[in-house]
Amino acid sequence: MSGENSTNASAIFLEHRDVLKGVAMRLCANAADANDLVQDTFERALRVPSSELPDNLRAWLITVMHNLFFDQLRHQTRGPRLVPMEDETDIPEPEPEVEPAWAAISPAQLEAALAQLDDRYREVYEMHCLSGASYDEIARSLNITKTTVGTRLARAREKIRELLRAQLPDSTHSNQGYDHAV
């Protein structure tokens, strides 16, 4: 979006802000983190020349957001632990860090798992989690009930978890944060 005037960037922001905020709220633990993720997503988007922007800007922005979220999670788990230094004799021995299971999952593995889903589950999952569509929007679009949307989404998530767990190098890894990431 670089090179475009601020009016175009503002219009794009206003058009996609609510959808991105909804996706960010599902990914993050709190509103402040969600707002930061939305801001980081738009900041990243502003660095891309307008000639390179895809036709489906909303889906692309959501993909950028997911990638930023997973990058931030990986960075947090690999960052150093800071211990306040009050008294040198009270310094605890560092605990070995257990990397959460989701940190071993690559975007390619997630895409492969999505490709293995039954079409009706994948369609609902992509519409809700990647495009930010509400249950009502999905129900209207697919001519199904909201309850069916919820059921298909739950089944899609469970199948994705099952497929991704099978790809983990060690199935005894902690599931901490794993369910939240899918």
Task: Locate 46 and state its tokens.
Answer: 């502003």
pTM metric for this prediction: 0.45
Q: Which fold has domain 103-181?
A: Arc Repressor Mutant, subunit A (1.10.10)
CATH 1.10.1740.10, applies to 6-78: yes
* Domain ranges within the chain, ordered by starting residue: 6-78, 103-181
The neighbour count for residue 87, using CB atoms within 10 Å, is: 7
What is the structure's pLDDT at 88?
A: 57
Q: Could you tell me which residue, 28 or 128, shows the higher pLDDT?
A: 128
- Residues 109-154 pLDDT 10s: 778 888 899 999 999 988 888 788 889 999 999 999 999 999 999 9
Contact residues for 41 (Cβ-Cβ < 8 A; gap 6+): 20, 24, 61, 64, 65, 68
| Angle between the N-to-C axes of helices 31-46 and 6-27, in degrees from 0 to 180, rounded to the nearest 10 | 140
Of 44, 43, 106, 119, the residue nearest 73 (C-alpha): 106
